[in-house]
Structure 1
Amino acid sequence: MSSPVEIPFLSFIDLDRQAKTPIYLQLAQQLINAIQRGYLIPNSKMPGSRTLSELLQLHRKTVIAAYEDLHHQGWIAILPNKGAFVMDNKNRISERPYDSLVSLANYPPKTGYSFNQSNILDNPFEQSNCTFQFNDGTADIRLTEIKKLSGLYSATLKRKNTLKKINNPLHTGEYFREQLSNYLNNSRGLHISKNNLLITRSTEMSLYIISQLLIKPNDVVMVAELGLFTANMIFQKAGANIKTLAVDDRGIDIDQLAEKLKNTSIRAIYITPHHHYPTTVSLSAQRRLQLLQLARTHGFIIIEDDYDYDFQYDKSTIMPLASADVNGMVIYVGSFGKSLTPSFSTGFVVAPQNLIVEMQKYLGILDRQGDIVMEQVLGEMIAEGDIHRHLKKSLKIYRERRNYCSVLLAKHFGHQSNFSVPNGGLAIWLEWDIPISLLQLANACQKNDLFIPKNILYQNRNTTAMRIGFGHLTTDEMEKSLEILKECLVQSLH
């Protein structure tokens, strides 16, 4: 056994001489904690009072007082002419309650109580250390001017008025909501004020608040047959009865919805009309008008997610349904700053003011303070035009990447698959025309340094497809990634 003086007491004992608690009690408490956590093992010898007092630079009587307290509580045994030893409380019977305390050397692996566990909310995202990786379409953070963003954040944080806002728990982000409402009016054709806006941390938080407020158990919520899985998870967790609608090259099938409404009462429909997730198609103008008419007639809610709205490559812009809603049937959700970095983006909800007021109550429970500094930075970026300039610059790059990725896909897989060049967004929907197991293909690619997560693979009796994100890849990274995919595909077919 090692000498007790070799035990690194200084690593787990930190005495505060300015504290009101006497030093000997601090020492006793910290030695108890060390015994509980296994730093001092049972039956080991403690250093002598003189040795420990020199090591900790304490008076010897202070250490003696601490040892006597430990002995009285049953943590150590003091044997005449032999010294002090850590007690093994598991193997001795005593009436003292301290002897039955559970050791903290190993944290409990499970709770001592039961609770509801949900597989609905299992994390659908995977990670890998592969050099090359596909995803479902994310922005490239390398295009973001990180130094400029950090400078804006730092400057904002140092302002006196910002510090006052931070100290005010009732701050509601007036400035950012005002700037964002102006931005959405100009870019989306909306007619809102700051009172029609709820600021959240993410689209998922927005949908969660909506579901908690508006969806009751067994309410029917219509979604696309192939749709955004995180949204479906949130609605299911709220107790919704999920029903699906087909999707074609004009978006979600509204005629099928009209047919179902003859026999079914629905609470809401969730759509990503601008760039449908995952197929990237846009909901046609005729279907948009038809959907608004159905919502007014049957009284269901349209939850419109503006997924990838900022990433548009065509000159003609399709306005969201919310811009044509005059009956208050559309709840418009989205994220702002998606072209920057995940930490510099935020979610928002656009709705009539009476609903926003009620949603604010739910947000007050989940995120009462918000991110005041970040909201101020984003508001200033809108006011100064920084967001517009960054988006204009990055859109040119993303358009080039979309075009190049389309060329490579046609070159390598043109006779084995089909796809349409999307008019926006950061991903391409690729459907395979050959019999192949996508999971086996993904496993083969991972062995060759290309990671393809399961959440971008779609395979059932009628569909064999992949949603391939191109936004985060340079042209060189695209070439190497698709070459690996091609090599693994050829091997799997032989």
Structure 2
Amino acid sequence: MRRWELAVSLDPHSSQPLFLQLADAIADDIRRGRLRADDALPGSRELAALLGLNRNTIVAAYDELAAQGSVRTRVGGGTFVTAATPLARVRPCAPVLPAAPTFALAPLAPTRFVAPAVPAPGALQLGSGAPDPRLFPARALARAFRRAIESRGRGALGAGGPCGHARLRGALADMLARSRGLPAMPANTMVTRSIEQGIDLVARALVSPGDVVAVEELGYPPAWNALRLAGAELAPLPLDDEGLRVDALAALLERTRVRAVFLTPHHQFPTTAVMSAARRARLAELALRHRVAIVEDDYDHEFHYAGKPVLPLAAGAGGGNVVYVGSLANLLAPGIGTGFVVAPAPVFERLAQLRAASDPRCDAALEGAIAELFEDGELLRHVRRLRRVFAARRDVLAGALRRRLGGALDFRVAEGGLALWVRVDAAIDLGAWVREGAREGVQFAAAMPYDLRGRELQAMRLAFSWHDEAELEQAVERMARALARCAPLRRAPPTRAAMGTRAASLHEDDRRQRA
């Protein structure tokens, strides 16, 4: 049951009696949905005092609504909206929806907004790369909140600055310098509310309308949206098993002025490919020679399971041309999306100006609590636990896919990240499989949303971070049952060699067309 928020305007000079004006205003709130079934109305004395009216006027209004069937009154128990209000008997009042504005909106660049998938009750979800909320260190964060607020006094709840909480900026800079080799200091490290906000700020700092920004042809749609809204024209570049095809970038630079390159070199999103050292060096050389900015999204850096994580581009030669963005969301929980940006001094100044203009106050309480987790070592311990858990889940999912669906799928076990990039046999109707999977209680999807051109790819991204080992086994079993009910497409399946085992062949035809 909700408490009604009073928003009533009465005209004492109107020819309509005040009690009818009040009854009509309340009936209009019911019609608009501001008042719903079983919501409580204020008592007659309370509402009379709030509106400066005689109590009898309030009682008369409630009696009118009761006669219409809009409310019911319990003696000594209050007045409530009825479960089924006969709206036809309510007098016409203000329109239910506001009139359309007469002014025009500014033009909007082409964008692709995809609503987050809502899991059906009881369904297992392999399409989400978010971390399992059951692993979230809720008690540790609650203690950190308490310490941050109680021990820091009024400063913990102050407005903070546009670049973020000073302690968290310091903790992040120290972590990035020690573990990733970045030239990070509090003075060039910004905390953002999300990685998307960080990318948006970087896009607005670097891009002018009409500038060409090179991107991986498979990637993260919200990043593309931010770049396009800043005015960028996106130029897709092909991928293979070693990440972005730098030779394709070199060819593009020879014929086009490129303002920036946006990429995920560590665990490429969505394919999880790791960019080779040779390509990293070549990319840095091209960026310096052609005066191109590199925007590096270091996606899932912490979750690398084979050997040591590769150092970011920002830590290597040519790092002066790199703007580095990252997120803490996958370390904590999807609902805590805190991100960060590390940038060279002139770029950081512009970022700070943009942030101050649109969002001058940081979330001081949350950022102070996260700083506590850094400082007492809890976040580092949590990351180590997550790495062990997710590595085990990755192996379970890979094993189950090979046992139950080995003839239908082709993939390699990712070195890092929170998902597997899986290519589907061309003889399978992937759309039908997805629909049958939903009926079986497992949710997954084709990779089309990750393709800049919106092509129907015979591939999927299957995440292992949301479910435990038993749930992953069950999810694959449901996928297998769903596939068994799908009729094959009316074309001969390709050989395994034709399918290929590397991401390079996925877009080879497009590369030839561009050449």
Question: Which interval holds the TM-score relative to the shorter structure?
Answer: 0.7 to 0.9
1:414 aligns with 2:406: yes
Instruction: Classify 1:63/1:443 alpha carbon distance in 2 versus 1 (closer, same or farther; 3 Å).
Output: same
TM-score (norm 2): 0.76
Q: Is the 8 A contact 1:457 1:466 kept in 2?
A: no
1:321 aligns with 2:313: yes
SS, match of residue 333 in structure 1 = strand
Distance in 2, matches of 1:12 and 1:356, equals 44
The equivalences for 1:146-295 within 5 A come to 146-159=138-151, 161-168=152-159, 170=161, 172-295=164-287
Q: Is the 8 A contact 2:448 2:457 kept in 1?
A: no
1:207 partner letter: I
Partner of residue 106 from structure 1, selected from 76, 79, 96: 96
CA apart distance, 1:356: 1.1
Q: Is the 8 A contact 1:278 1:467 kept in 2?
A: yes
The equivalences for 1:49-128 within 5 A come to 56=45, 63=54, 103-104=93-94, 106-108=96-98, 110-111=100-101, 113-116=103-106, 118=108, 120-128=111-119
1:35 aligns with 2:27: no
Partner of 2:506: none
SS, match of residue 480 in structure 2 = helix
Distance in 1, matches of 2:447 and 2:457, equals 14
Instruction: Classify 1:408/1:182 alpha carbon distance in 2 versus 1 (closer, same or farther; 3 Å).
Output: same
Distance in 2, matches of 1:458 and 1:489, equals 23
TM-score (norm 1): 0.79
1:128 partner letter: P
Instruction: Classify 1:188/1:114 alpha carbon distance in 2 versus 1 (closer, same or farther; 3 Å).
Output: same
1:108 partner letter: P
1:468 aligns with 2:462: yes
1:371 aligns with 2:363: yes
Partner of 2:77: none
Q: Is the 8 A contact 2:218 2:269 kept in 1?
A: yes
Partner of 1:341: 333
Q: Is the 8 A contact 1:274 1:318 kept in 2?
A: yes
Q: Is the 8 A contact 1:12 1:30 kept in 2?
A: no
2:54 partner letter: V
CA apart distance, 1:149: 1.4
Q: Deviations over 1:326-355 (max 9, x none)?
A: 461000000125221133341111111221
Partner of 2:36: none
Report which stretch shifted further, 370-379 or 129-138.
129-138
Q: Is the 8 A contact 1:13 1:30 kept in 2?
A: no
Q: Which runs of 5+ in 1 are unaligned?
A: 1-9, 16-23, 42-53, 71-101
CA apart distance, 1:445: 1.3
CA apart distance, 1:319: 0.3
Q: Deviations over 1:243-293 (max 9, x none)?
A: 111100111100111112111110001110000111111000000000000
Instruction: Classify 1:438/1:116 alpha carbon distance in 2 versus 1 (closer, same or farther; 3 Å).
Output: farther
Q: Give the alignment's Cα RMSD to 1 decimal.
A: 3.4
Percentage identity across aligned positions? Answer: 28
Distance in 2, matches of 1:109 and 1:481, equals 48
Partner of residue 441 from structure 2, selected from 437, 449, 456: 449
Number of corresponding residues: 432
Instruction: Classify 1:36/1:384 alpha carbon distance in 2 versus 1 (closer, same or farther; 3 Å).
Output: same
Q: Is the 8 A contact 2:298 2:312 kept in 1?
A: yes
CA apart distance, 1:365: 2.8
Q: Is the 8 A contact 2:285 2:318 kept in 1?
A: no
**Which one has the largest radius of gyration?**
1
CA apart distance, 1:201: 0.8
